[in-house]
Structure 1
Amino acid sequence: MSSTASSAALSVAELRTRFRQGKEALLTRFKEARPSATSARLLLHGLARHVDATLVQLWQGSGLPAGAALLAVGGYGRGELYPYSDVDVLVLLPEPETDAVREAVSAFITACWDIGLEIGSSVRTVDDCVREAQADVTVQTSLLESRLLTGPRRLYQAFAKATSEALDAAAFLRAKTLEMRQRHVKYEDTPYSLEPNCKESPGGLRDLQVVIWVARAAGLGRTWSELAAKGLLSAFEVKQLQRHEGTLRLIRCRLHVIAGRREDRLVFDLQTSVAESFGYQSTKGARASEQLMHRYYWAAKAVTQLNQILMLGIDERVSSSEQAPMRPINARFLDRGGMLEVARDDLYTDNPHAILETFLIYQQTTGIKGLSARTLRALYNARSVMDSRFRKDPLNRELFMDILRQPEGQTHAFRLMNQTSVLGRYLWVFRRIVGRMQHDLFHVYTVDQHILMVLRNVRRFFIPEHAHEYPFCAQLASQWDKPWLLYIAALFHDVAKGRGGDHSELGATEVRRFCRDHGLEPDETELVEFLVRHHLTMSTVAQKEDLHDPEVIQRFARRMGDARHLTGLYLLTVADIRGTSPKVWNAWKGKLLEDLFRYTLRALGGAPHSADAEIEARKQEAMQILALHAALPGTEQPLWKTLDISYFARHDAAEIAWHARSLWRHLDTQVPLVSARPSPIGEGLQVLVFSPDRADLFARICGYFDGAGFSIQDAKVHTTRSGYALDTFQVVNPNAEDQSPGAYRDMIKLVETQASAALASDGPLPPPSRGRVSRRVRSFPVKPRVALRPDEKAQRWLLSVSASDRSGLLYAIARVLAAHHINLQLAKVSTLGERVEDTFLVSGAELQQPRLQLQMESELLDVLADVR
């Protein structure tokens, strides 16, 4: 190696050491400093200056022509650099690239990577930059934030002038607005995602950057202060923007440092560590991560509001829509091209009643599609007006009830009220749950977003255009005379979450106070309070109790009291479950709830329940179905003679007929018979298993479904008088995108053949599969719970289990039951997101022996807790 090459290599090695030491010193200083916006700003600017100096040194030894310049672009061009973000640079050439220049640039980029700089680079002339920017708005945005690091200033000025002249402010604004909307949809269109991206999610840093980009393109300023000087911001709004931007910067910096890599998502795995780096500590009332996320959500919400105000304001300046003709709506409001505008800026401070009137006008006025920037700003600056006196004002209470009672527009009005902080200011109890996380593995929204989702779901029951979504709910809603009572119940059903007590009882107290203050009639107040207090009752009964037991239905009917209370609770329950997570609702849960509703409605009708008459009617209907399928008369009798009343009570006529058709030739079979069909409920398969009974049969069935990738949603387990197991399963493949009956037809023969072979095996039960658990389960594990109690007749036992879901869990439970010779008579399998709540009706000699019972419960807890 020559001495020159050795010197160059040593120079790069020295630069690498200096760069790493300098960066480590900056990170150490940041980690040791008190978490503040100032510490984040110092880190961002310090890292940028440190990289500036390193790049300039490398550039000086690169051999690039003297006429070339090095520019910082993108986020680095702003003079800010996050600990693990890319360093974007532009090599600006005075003339088209030659082979010699190409080799020098390549050597320069290689040297950058060698010393630890993650470079993103481009090499262009000024003409290239203009051409690329006109073709790609992303390039245009990157070049908009550029600064000269080294090289001829004259070349940089020519570049800045050419790219600026080529910029069409209106086209750029339109492109960035569409790009922002697309990004918001990608990130769930809410600042309240449970694992938000603090850079890209709605309310994240990117929303602030977009404002500056479009403002710069329009020549309206480069900083918040410059935008204020142009009349786009008030002094108060500048302070708010700086404060919330500082919070988001600090969180992102801490997130990078904790992760040790570029990580902009506040994922569950990192939330606690980031929170603790802020000094948050878990308390009885809130985890450390919850306190951090609450702070993040408040900042993101404010950024969302201010972004909307500024983007509308800039759009008005660029498009000159400030001069658009305005149509007066009344003395206080105008229609400016479809946007609702206040007649004067101080309207709300002079007339606080106009605040709630805004949303009533928004609902009532045809053609209004949103609030103007002027109105949004007036609302943002009027928050201090919405105090205790405002909340107690009789006219405001009347206006709020008018909003609820309007024939349409509640969903959009209440979302807008929440976005503008009016809802939380008026309903102070609602303010406490804005941005509150729910660590229960099946709610994917914060409490306030879940409540508004439930309100939306209830509202859709009353909209004819959405009747096809839930036809039965739409039918019931069409007969309901006061929809606004259900809207109030939806608003309050979870409003007491996070207080440490029973949120249903606390919520009932809150809604009773609301009803009293807002002048509802006593019977209306009682109904709404009932709905809030019992909003979990119907789903619990439907998913955990035997709906074919007349005593269960009678007990539930007594609690309902009448058909109106039952109908209201059914509608609220469906809306509530649908509003938790897309994963929680399925057709099987819908069927259980509808069955409970219909059985209870019949019981409330006053007709005495006659099990014999009902079963006889069910048999007659089953025989009619058999006749339609050309079955010989009496086909069903050999099977029916072996079945007791509980079988007919737990199956509908169609299932009874299907069983008879499938089994009439196989009643003496000595090998397991499996028959499958597309499920009548519209999702998955219904699978019939008929086999000589054995202690481990249920475990083997679960083992097959587990290995084949199916999830059991329901199991009806029976033993005939002749000693055969007759079990029916509702199963789905959770990984299948298409859950329609047609998608399952192709796998019916495969399931029948494979399941029969698996059940015929005499070998030892295989171990359960070990599927990976989700990050949410690892971060928020459910404490395993086992409850075993005798039923009311003291003949059988109810076994309830609760745990984090995982592949193979039901099979693992079944293996324990088989090992203890427990007879299974009914299984209620309920998956709530990533938590399971299963109930089994069981019997067995060991349950009568306390020691053996405790041993079984201990083993069940072991398998429930085995989350790896």
Structure 2
Amino acid sequence: MNAPAISIDGLRDAIATTREQLVHGGEALRAAYEAHPRTATVLKGRARMVDEAIVRLWQSCGLPAQAALVAVGGYGRGELFPCSDVDLLVLLPAPAGADLQARLSTLVGALWDVGLEIGHSVRTPDECLDAAAQDITVQTNLLEARLLTGNADLFDEFSARYREMLDVRAFFKAKQLEQEQRYARYNDTPYSLEPNCKESPGGLRDLQMLGWIARAAGLGRNWRELARRRLITGEEAADLRSVERFLQHLRIRLHYLTRRSEDRLLFDHQEKLARIMGIEATAAKRASEVLMQRYYLTAKKVTQINTILLQNYGTEIFDDRGGPAIVINPHFQAVRELLDVRHEQVFEQHPSALLECFLILQQRSELKGMTARTLRALWLARKRINAAFRADPANRALFLQILQQKRGIVHEFRRMNQYGVLGHYLPAWRRIVGQMQHDLFHAYTVDQHIMMVLRNVRRFTMGEHAHEYPLMTRLILAFERHWLLYAAALFHDIAKGRGGDHSRLGMEDAREFCEQHGLSAEDTGLVVWLVEHHLTMSHVAQKEDTSDPDVVRRFADIVGDERRLTALYLLTHADIRGTSPKVWNGWKGKLLEDLFFATQRLLRGATPQQALGLDDRLEDARNMLRFYGLRPGVEDALWEQLDAVYFMRHSAEEIAWHTRVLYYRTEADEAVVKARVAEEEDGVQVMVFTRDQADLFVRLTGFFGRLGFSILDAKVHTTRHGYALDSFMLQSAGPDTNYRDVVTLIEHELAQRLNRPDAPIERPADGRLSRQVKHFPITPQVSIRADEAGRHHILSLTAADRPGLLFGVAEVLARHGINVQTAKIATLGERVEDTFLLSGGGLSQEAQVVRVERELLDRLHV
């Protein structure tokens, strides 16, 4: 391929001119868009501007006429977002020689020099087709290829060959699989609090995929053409144009705001985006919450129409795989393993079919979903679920049947939520659809969190998941009418966002539902009680001293009987796990389990001491020591120095572990530190035994903080002969920490430091607040009050989590001579709710309590 020599000066001038034009042109596009926000102004305008720039540089680099420069991907479609990459294909009739390779390298360098983010490939038609056959992404990018300049004949020949090799059926299946994988990557939900407006379910990628399949199958090039072919209705086409524009505006604004290709709706941007888009706060919601609720409703509509259109595509593309309809009943039939209405007016003429269809899907495992026309009819008829519908005993019975089925409960409730049926049947539900939760604890909107809790309770009943939490499975399978837990799960957070105590408000909704649906007084009482107390067990387990018999007794008084205890335990477990992947850990599970068994024993007639299992615990610990080959009586020297509080606060296994380490050195001159990986390998347990010394708790928190560990639990104990016997549960902030690697480090370094009590206290590095906390700040709260026995004081604090926080608290307490007996550290996402049992320091004097509270608040404010 012969081509003229490149003029270095001419190329340099072209680069300078092009860069200036792109900068000024980009500013003009932004100004025009902000004056009159139209998506085409930016998307089409930037594509045209980049076309001119690339063609100019192509010519300046003297590329031969035999080559073709092709726009692919979104750029091939003639649309470019403000900071999107520019995808190019250089099409050659034959592999490039050295001169052409040099020119192409010069071109690519020039494109980067003018400020374009370039993705490029250089291929012959054969190479392109081979790559497309191997990679669905390449095949998709080539689908919208557009010639920019160069050899038109070569491009036309390639385009024709590409169309010939395109297997529409294989393409359709591949894009469906690709969507499923993408959904799995984003947890199958568009309702995370920081969704990706391009890639998350319900985002722009879903709409682009629908366009790609339609183009590949020759079904249409826009929503209007699809409506003409009756693949969607005119109303759906209008909806698609509307939601597409909204998502495009959102992404354009996000690019302009961040000045980069950012597609995540992070907390950092939500309030600013709302303001830029002219969205204002309401009396009950921040502007960002209004924006995000609109986004979630948009994403919901996208996923609805996506499901309908994919089914219709499938019918067109696989027109030979249909079979005769199998009649199910007067209202429904089965078509290609999908539930289908027998005629378009089924829901209009028989409104109860709006619930019946979900029940049929549960009862007939061969059905994989609903046909497109059924889904469309369902969506259009949802408003027929009104007060008269809800009052109909037959419909109430249908709803209860759906709740009581052996399979498909979570699938069908999610489908009912997706298509608006659940919100119309339970009016209170409609208010929580797409509602954000800015407590930095929940990772999902309220309705999706409830669906996660329902899923978790449901999984307890399923044999294939029994290995995950075998105790939960055993308890729920022995629980009569366990579907009542599903009802409690549906209502436990249904009153979120109304103001006031959502537990109290939600129990009224639950009571109304139960009474209207004919539940017995006993079952109604259980569901209502669970909604009222769904936070109680987690509060007691994580914030109170459950080794105190009075704490367990008070909790048992609230529970009342073993059936309620079991129900609350199951719901609490499911609720915590349904908030965020970061919140649940084995330590929290152990706290709940210990409280459950202690309360169960108390309810079965044991004394408070027996309920805590002190005698059994000591006997179990002795048996473990014998198992390890230690002769009877070796534990006596150590145990004589320990009081009942120590034995109540530690499990039999922990007591045996401490004893094996310390039985022969109860008068050790040097510190003894032992560490081990916790169960499920999600943390490290550390035991410290040393002569009591000033500021010990401060030193320990400083050391752990410097290593980057969070303290989940601390049990601080002083023996009768003046030794500190403290134990800690630690967890790393990093997700990939190998705890086995740090055990020896902790044992060696911590012992060395404790053996130098006069050395300066190590201060952990002050950490920065997370970006979530910056945008949704938490007002610190501190409370110090005497416990019921009057022997100790309880410090409760709430604050935004950050490295070094616990060290700061310990430092204030040490300065006032206050001793920490136990510490329960509850980290809920970005929020900490910590509880300490304190003694000493003049806390019996009110003025001293006020001073300490004030200093702690000053330390917690950021």
Distance 1:792 1:252, change over 3 A: same
Q: Give the residue type in structure 2 aligned to 1:788.
A: I
Q: Give the residue type in structure 2 aligned to 1:708.
A: L
State the partner residue of 1:19.
Answer: 22
In structure 1, the residue corresponding to 2:395 is in which secondary structure? helix
State the partner residue of 1:237.
Answer: 236
C-alpha contact (below 8 Å) 1:695/1:821 kept by paired residues: no
In structure 2, the residue corresponding to 1:856 is in which secondary structure? helix
In structure 1, the residue corresponding to 2:334 is in which secondary structure? strand
In structure 1, the residue corresponding to 2:88 is in which secondary structure? strand
C-alpha contact (below 8 Å) 2:764/2:804 kept by paired residues: yes
Shift in Å, 1:437: 1.6
State the partner residue of 1:774.
Answer: 770
Residues 277-301 of structure 1: CA distance to partner in whole angstroms, max 9, x if unpaired?
1123445522222211111111111
Distance 1:616 1:149, change over 3 A: closer
Residues 508-528 of structure 1: CA distance to partner in whole angstroms, max 9, x if unpaired?
111111112222222211111
State the partner residue of 1:376.
Answer: 375
Q: Which deviates more, 553-562 or 102-111?
A: 102-111
In structure 2, the residue corresponding to 1:799 is in which secondary structure? strand
Distance (Å, rounded) in 1 between the aligned partners of 2:700 and 2:131 = 62
State the partner residue of 1:796.
Answer: 792
In structure 2, the residue corresponding to 1:439 is in which secondary structure? coil
Q: Which deviates more, 564-573 or 599-608?
A: 599-608
C-alpha contact (below 8 Å) 1:768/1:809 kept by paired residues: no
In structure 2, the residue corresponding to 1:240 is in which secondary structure? helix
State the partner residue of 1:532.
Answer: 531
Q: Give the residue type in structure 2 aligned to 1:642.
A: Q
State the partner residue of 2:861.
Answer: 865
Does 2:426 match 1:416? no
Distance (Å, rounded) in 2 between the aligned partners of 1:606 and 1:408 = 38
> Counterparts in 2 of 1:388-399, with a 5 A limit?
388-399=387-398
Match of residue 31, structure 2, among 28, 33, 56 = 28
Distance (Å, rounded) in 2 between the aligned partners of 1:538 and 1:340 = 42
Q: Which deviates more, 49-58 or 572-581?
A: 49-58
Distance (Å, rounded) in 1 between the aligned partners of 2:707 and 2:120 = 49
Does 2:628 match 1:629? yes
> Counterparts in 2 of 1:303-314, with a 5 A limit?
303-314=302-313
State the partner residue of 1:292.
Answer: 291
State the partner residue of 1:753.
Answer: 748
State the partner residue of 2:478.
Answer: 479
State the partner residue of 2:274.
Answer: 275
Distance (Å, rounded) in 2 between the aligned partners of 1:51 and 1:461 = 56
Shift in Å, 1:798: 0.3
Does 2:694 match 1:689? no
Distance (Å, rounded) in 1 between the aligned partners of 2:12 and 2:630 = 90
Distance 1:736 1:74, change over 3 A: closer
Distance 1:611 1:152, change over 3 A: closer
In structure 1, the residue corresponding to 2:797 is in which secondary structure? strand
C-alpha contact (below 8 Å) 1:702/1:810 kept by paired residues: yes
State the partner residue of 1:725.
Answer: 724
Distance (Å, rounded) in 2 between the aligned partners of 1:601 and 1:575 = 19
Distance 1:845 1:6, change over 3 A: closer
Distance (Å, rounded) in 2 between the aligned partners of 1:830 and 1:79 = 52
Distance (Å, rounded) in 1 between the aligned partners of 2:662 and 2:819 = 23
State the partner residue of 2:54.
Answer: 55
Shift in Å, 1:233: 0.7
Distance (Å, rounded) in 1 between the aligned partners of 2:99 and 2:809 = 71
Distance (Å, rounded) in 2 between the aligned partners of 1:656 and 1:115 = 69
In structure 1, the residue corresponding to 2:717 is in which secondary structure? strand
Q: Give the residue type in structure 1 aligned to 2:490.
A: L
Shift in Å, 1:498: 1.5
Q: Give the residue type in structure 2 aligned to 1:487.
A: Y
> Counterparts in 2 of 1:92-131, with a 5 A limit?
92-93=91-92, 97-131=96-130
Shift in Å, 1:729: 2.0
Distance (Å, rounded) in 1 between the aligned partners of 2:783 and 2:754 = 29
Q: Which deviates more, 746-755 or 137-146?
A: 746-755
Distance (Å, rounded) in 1 between the aligned partners of 2:815 and 2:437 = 37
State the partner residue of 1:85.
Answer: 84
C-alpha contact (below 8 Å) 1:588/1:681 kept by paired residues: no
Distance 1:14 1:713, change over 3 A: closer
C-alpha contact (below 8 Å) 2:601/2:610 kept by paired residues: no
Q: Give the residue type in structure 2 aligned to 1:835.
A: R
Match of residue 845, structure 1, among 818, 835, 841 = 841
Shift in Å, 1:661: 3.4
Q: Which deviates more, 59-68 or 257-266?
A: 59-68
C-alpha contact (below 8 Å) 2:598/2:613 kept by paired residues: no
Shift in Å, 1:98: 4.9
In structure 2, the residue corresponding to 1:847 is in which secondary structure? coil
> Counterparts in 2 of 1:627-706, with a 5 A limit?
627-679=626-678, 683-706=682-705
Shift in Å, 1:594: 1.4
> Counterparts in 2 of 1:515-526, with a 5 A limit?
515-526=514-525
Distance 1:665 1:136, change over 3 A: closer
Distance (Å, rounded) in 2 between the aligned partners of 1:612 and 1:484 = 30
Distance (Å, rounded) in 2 between the aligned partners of 1:7 and 1:682 = 64
Distance 1:522 1:778, change over 3 A: same
Shift in Å, 1:152: 5.8
In structure 1, list runs of 5 or more residues that go unmatched.
none
Shift in Å, 1:345: 2.7
Distance (Å, rounded) in 2 between the aligned partners of 1:624 and 1:197 = 55
Distance 1:478 1:385, change over 3 A: same
C-alpha contact (below 8 Å) 1:202/1:300 kept by paired residues: yes
In structure 2, the residue corresponding to 1:713 is in which secondary structure? strand
Residues 598-617 of structure 1: CA distance to partner in whole angstroms, max 9, x if unpaired?
22222223444357996455
> Counterparts in 2 of 1:55-454, with a 5 A limit?
55-93=54-92, 97-151=96-150, 153-320=152-319, 323-454=322-453
Consecutive aligned runs of 4 or more in structure 1 exceeding 6 Å deviation: none
Distance (Å, rounded) in 1 between the aligned partners of 2:71 and 2:681 = 57
Residues 490-544 of structure 1: CA distance to partner in whole angstroms, max 9, x if unpaired?
0111111112221111111111111122222222111111100110011001111
Residues 685-723 of structure 1: CA distance to partner in whole angstroms, max 9, x if unpaired?
433222221231112222222233433222221212222
Distance 1:8 1:844, change over 3 A: same
In structure 2, the residue corresponding to 1:830 is in which secondary structure? strand
Distance 1:206 1:722, change over 3 A: same
Q: Give the residue type in structure 1 aligned to 2:747.
A: E
Does 2:16 match 1:10? no
C-alpha contact (below 8 Å) 2:703/2:763 kept by paired residues: no
Shift in Å, 1:101: 4.4
Q: Which deviates more, 585-594 or 124-133?
A: 124-133
In structure 2, the residue corresponding to 1:221 is in which secondary structure? coil
Shift in Å, 1:682: 6.5
Shift in Å, 1:248: 0.5
Distance 1:395 1:816, change over 3 A: same
Residues 342-394 of structure 1: CA distance to partner in whole angstroms, max 9, x if unpaired?
22233222322112111100000131122222322222333333344433333
C-alpha contact (below 8 Å) 2:586/2:679 kept by paired residues: no
Distance 1:52 1:398, change over 3 A: same
- In the comparison of the two structures, how many residue pairs are matched? 857
C-alpha contact (below 8 Å) 2:6/2:60 kept by paired residues: no
Q: Which deviates more, 176-185 or 316-325?
A: 316-325
Shift in Å, 1:168: 0.9
Distance (Å, rounded) in 1 between the aligned partners of 2:789 and 2:448 = 43
Shift in Å, 1:774: 3.2
In structure 1, the residue corresponding to 2:89 is in which secondary structure? strand
TM (normalized to structure 2)? 0.94
Distance (Å, rounded) in 1 between the aligned partners of 2:134 and 2:680 = 52
Distance (Å, rounded) in 1 between the aligned partners of 2:673 and 2:95 = 74
Distance (Å, rounded) in 1 between the aligned partners of 2:847 and 2:671 = 35
